[in-house]
């Protein structure tokens, strides 16, 4: 079946944003220092930026895929290719036949297997265009429940894997001094218990500390993971791999053995799997990453669900540029995001960005109240940091 046929069959279309052109870029942002997790190391943050353009509007989106296919199967060059060759042509073809809204993107691309981060990038660009046209902020778009979006969100930061426990503790202390309210440290076998002990000892009992294993442990590590309980961690994130058909059951079994709350990240790839994980007791904390769900609107639905069921949740980041970072801040303003997320200042990771910097203010970050992301784009920096671009028109 051709994509064109599938698009016609699947498309429900209503309002016309009049999309005629989509610009795709790969930008390269220099990191202050390499960021190391158990799934790999990022030294330069390349990312795909999507700009949808109509006669009198534009909308900006960002694909969260990392430079290499290590966190998930998506990666920058692959995401650029699937956007250029499949998703954007499909969007433009559909938009030429009938109006398209952001909420139609999930069904429009349901024909395609995988590529959730690429799909979410287009949805974000359409959401941004609609917010700009409608005169409301992304945060307001994401929060329809009372009391509405928060005006500021607390800042949290992630510390990558380092060579020694002492070095990790020193960095943690520096981040606390900068005002961060929550420290997340990456762990993996061999860089875990003593590293956590050093950090907890350095920052004291009053600072929220959590650890993220990115699935680096197995069910044979239950005894080691039990040792986490002595550090009063707010949670352990994705201790076991998300691979295989039984990852939720394996996490539920671990949850029965340890007191430290389990948070799931990589395992939660859909609204249905998130609800199932909560039901099974596989996690008591939810990391909400819109690009992982393939939809910012699905991420909102997950936050609505967590709020309705009294489940703690927070918004995770992906070393995002200023576009994805602002979108995550808007999402973190949802009342369902009850815990401190990966919401950090631009300067924490990058020496240069395509947007005006996101800054800390007494440990908090302002939620953008402006309509549309376009006003935050630094067009000169965008050109300077672009390494590849293409424009696709109907
Ligand atoms: Mg994680």
Q: Are residues 125 and 174 in the same domain?
A: no
Q: Are residues 81 and 158 in the same domain?
A: no
Q: Are residues 174 and 310 in the same domain?
A: yes
Q: Are residues 116 and 158 in the same domain?
A: no
Q: Are residues 225 and 77 in the same domain?
A: no
Q: Are residues 271 and 231 in the same domain?
A: yes
CA of residue 200 to ligand 1 center, whole Å = 20
Residue 156, SS3?
A: strand
Q: Are residues 92 and 150 in the same domain?
A: no
The residues carrying an active-site annotation are: 186, 289
Q: Are residues 67 and 88 in the same domain?
A: yes
Q: Give burial (CB, 10 Å; 0-12/13-18/19+) of 199.
A: buried
Supply the CATH number for residue 135's domain: 3.30.390.10
Domain, as residue range, for 251 = 140-371
Supply the CATH number for residue 175's domain: 3.20.20.120
Structure tokens at 54: 């109509």
CA of residue 174 to ligand 1 center, whole Å = 22
Q: Are residues 84 and 156 in the same domain?
A: no
Question: DSSP letter string over 287-317?
Answer: EE-HHHHT-HHHHHHHHHHHHHHT-EEEE--
CA of residue 183 to ligand 1 center, whole Å = 13
Distances (CA, A) of 201 to 159, 162, 227, 376: 16, 17, 16, 40
CA of residue 13 to ligand 1 center, whole Å = 35
Number of domains, the chain: 2
Q: Are residues 77 and 195 in the same domain?
A: no
Distances (CA, A) of 285 to 244, 265, 290, 301: 21, 9, 16, 16
CA of residue 237 to ligand 1 center, whole Å = 6
Q: Are residues 172 and 300 in the same domain?
A: yes
Residue 42: phi and psi, rounded to 5, are: -110, 125
CA of residue 318 to ligand 1 center, whole Å = 9
Print pLDDT tens along the chain (394 aa).
333 333 333 333 333 458 999 999 999 999 998 899 888 888 899 999 999 998 888 999 999 999 999 889 999 999 999 999 999 999 999 999 988 999 999 999 998 999 999 999 999 999 999 999 999 999 999 998 888 999 999 999 999 999 999 999 999 999 999 999 899 999 999 999 999 999 999 999 999 999 999 999 999 999 999 999 999 999 999 999 999 999 999 999 999 999 999 999 999 999 999 999 999 999 999 999 999 999 999 999 999 999 999 999 999 999 999 999 999 999 999 999 999 999 999 888 898 999 999 999 999 999 998 888 999 999 999 999 999 999 999 8
Q: Are residues 289 and 386 in the same domain?
A: no
- How far apart CA 141 and CA 144 sit, in angstroms, is 7
- pTM to 2 decimals? 0.92
């Amino acid at each position: 079946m051709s994509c064109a046929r599938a698009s016609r069959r699947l498309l429900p279309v209503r309002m016309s944003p009049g999309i005629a052109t989509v610009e795709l870029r790969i930008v390269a942002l220099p990191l202050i220092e390499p960021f190391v997790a158990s799934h790999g190391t990022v030294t330069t943050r390349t990312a795909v930026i999507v700009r949808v353009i109509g006669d009198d509007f534009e909308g900006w989106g960002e694909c969260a895929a990392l430079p290499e296919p290590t966190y998930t199967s998506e990666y920058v060059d692959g995401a650029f290719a699937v956007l250029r060759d499949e998703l954007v042509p499909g969007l433009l073809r559909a938009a030429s036949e009938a109006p398209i809204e952001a909420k139609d993107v999930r069904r429009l691309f349901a024909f395609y297997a995988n590529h959730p981060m690429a799909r979410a990038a287009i949805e974000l660009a359409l959401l941004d265009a609609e917010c700009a046209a409608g005169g409301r902020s992304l945060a307001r778009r994401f929060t329809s429940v009372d009391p509405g979006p928060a005006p500021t969100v607390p800042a949290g930061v992630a510390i990558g894997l380092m060579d020694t426990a002492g070095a990790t503790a020193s960095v943690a202390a520096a981040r606390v001094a900068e005002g961060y309210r929550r420290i997340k440290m990456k762990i993996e076998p061999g860089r875990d218990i003593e590293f956590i002990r050093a950090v907890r000892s350095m920052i004291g009992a009053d600072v929220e500390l959590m650890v993220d294993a990115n699935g680096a442990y197995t069910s044979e590590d239950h005894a080691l993971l039990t040792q986490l309980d002595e550090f009063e961690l707010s949670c352990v994130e994705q201790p076991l791999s998300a691979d295989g058909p039984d990852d939720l059951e394996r996490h539920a079994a671990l949850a029965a053995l340890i007191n430290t709350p389990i948070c799931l990240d990589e395992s939660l790839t859909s609204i249905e799997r998130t609800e199932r994980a909560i039901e099974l007791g596989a996690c008591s904390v939810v990391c909400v990453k819109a690009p992982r769900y393939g939809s910012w609107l699905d991420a909102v639905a997950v936050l609505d669900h967590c709020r309705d069921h009294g489940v703690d949740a927070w918004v995770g980041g992906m070393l995002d540029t200023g576009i994805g970072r602002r979108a995550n801040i808007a999402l973190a303003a949802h009342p369902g995001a009850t815990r401190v997320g990966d919401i950090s200042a631009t300067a924490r990771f990058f020496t240069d960005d395509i947007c005006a910097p996101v800054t800390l203010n007494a440990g908090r970050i302002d939620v953008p109240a402006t309509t549309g992301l376009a006003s935050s784009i630094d067009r000169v920096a965008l050109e300077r940091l672009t390494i590849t671009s293409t424009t696709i028109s109907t």
